[in-house]
Structure 1
């Protein structure tokens, strides 16, 4: 089917599955499903067990943790090509975060019971999975640390730099463009939409951003944004 072919093609692009034989990839693709999440819909909750493996095809998801008082902290975002459910290497582990779609997203779902036998029989696949898990933890730590900054300008710059590395469209070769509304940027950085508009407008005046198209943020100077993101109190 077309869905099965799309899944197989997506899996082939990932270093994680490079060690698998062609037939093994076809087996995974035939059992996997594509799930559509609406904006605000939860993929899985913090504390949930038995998480399957998920691969993001398109869209944007947020990884959030809840404090004792109920406040949410965004620890990372998940964009196309990213893998979720990496804790499946520890069968009894609970999810440390809630994963929620920020916008309409399509996800490939691979049942853990299907993937576990491949992990047990293929040491290289297991090593790649552990490397991916380590990288996710490092990335989440860096992203959440940048969002802990008091200044909204630093938060916005940090988010845009992170998005530039993982979620950009081409703009006739001029500069990368992030497909994100100001409301979505505000949600991602934990600020109000009014603040997000004010900060991005100021960055546009300074020649860092291009905001001419709705739902598109053109990154005219990633290096300047990176310098802002590295500011400390």
Structure 2
């Protein structure tokens, strides 16, 4: 049996930092703890949306499969993020699959509890709107990049966004992406091939811009990566 969550664990997220103890206890009353091993799905694309979630620890990868069977990495979910809010937008199913890429911990609430939770903690509405807005902006940005940028720029922009989302400064000056990520993930985020991503990362590693290994990427020269993203340097052929 999973032990009860401490209120301190919830309070470390801005959404709940100022909530009184009694409010947090009421919010947790109908919550379930979901522990996910790496590779395990929290929910599947097209599955009926029965719950919404708050990620407490770990990292999830959200992947959408197109009608042609191609996989697109939509985003990575980090602790403090809401997800699975399809029913709150009047959608009956989950539009994509969310899977753990490392051992993760999430809170799950039934979709029917949303109105009660809003009454207890109105800040949830603002957080949900912010989440939807960020996803729409992210989708718009990726569509614009696919339409207007060369592959080198798209990959550079993606690495910069990942560093902004979860960068972990290292003692030697590198900024490591704070979760496991593969070259295939980057390819699926940027609309290109594994071969192209591998070629670019290898070339950038030789130039001292990035360092990459198995499921790990770190940025050594962020300014150079920004120049690549802007197209200021010589562009690589697609």
Could you tell me how far apart the structure 1 residues matched to 2:165 and 2:24 are? 25
Task: Write the distance in 1 (CA, Å) between the matches of 2:108 and 2:10.
Answer: 11
Structure 1 stretch displaced more, 157-166 or 11-20: 11-20
What's the counterpart of residue 33 of structure 2?
33
After TM superposition, the score normalised by the length of structure 2 is 0.76
Query: What is the aligned partner in structure 2 of residue 55 from structure 1?
Result: 55
Gaps (5+ residues) in structure 2?
A: none
- CA shift in 2, pair 1:163/1:214, >3 Å: same
Distance of 2:9 and 2:148 partners within structure 1: 36
Partners of 2:167 and 2:137 in 1: CA distance: 21
Match of 2:99 in 1: 101
Q: 2:81 maps to which residue?
A: 82
What SS does the aligned partner of 1:202 have?
helix
- CA separation of 1:227/1:86 partners in 2, compared to 1, >3 Å: closer, same or farther? farther
Secondary structure of 1:137's match? helix
1:53–1:85: 8 Å Cα contact kept in structure 2?
A: yes
3-state SS of the aligned residue for 1:52? strand
Structure 1: tracts of 5 or more residues without a match: none
1:17 maps to 2:12: no
1:189-208 superposed matches below 5 A: 189-208=190-209
Counterparts of residues 140-151 of structure 1 (less than 5 Å): 140-147=139-146, 151=150
Does structure 2 retain, via aligned residues, the 8 Å contact 1:176–1:218? yes
Which residue in the other structure is 1:110 paired with?
A: 108
Q: 1:21 to 1:42 in 2, by over 3 A?
A: closer
Q: How many residues align?
A: 229
Rounded to whole Å, the distance in 1 between the matches of 2:75 and 2:148 is 15
Please give the root-mean-square deviation of Cα atoms over the aligned residues, in Å: 3.3
Task: Give the corresponding residue for 2:218.
Answer: 218
In structure 2, the CA distance between the partners of 1:153 and 1:204, relative to structure 1 (3 Å rule), is same
Q: Is the 8 A contact 2:55 2:81 kept in 1?
A: yes
**Distance in 2 (alpha carbons) for counterparts of 1:173 and 1:95:** 45
| Pair 192,9 (structure 1): closer, same or farther in 2 beyond 3 Å | farther
1:95, distance to aligned residue in structure 2 (A)? 4.5
SS at match of 2:192: coil
- Is the contact between residue 143 and residue 158 of structure 1 (CA under 8 Å) also seen in structure 2? no
Can you list the C-alpha shifts for 1:65-87, whole angstroms capped at 9, x where unaligned?
52x43434333332333221234
Partner Cα separation in structure 1 for residue 158 and residue 8 of structure 2: 29
TM-score (norm 1): 0.77
What's the offset of the Cα at 1:105?
Answer: 4.1
Instruction: Give yes or no for contact 2:42–2:100 (8 Å, CA) kept in 1.
Output: no
In structure 2, C-alpha distance between the alignment counterparts of 1:105 and 1:149, rounded to whole Å: 37
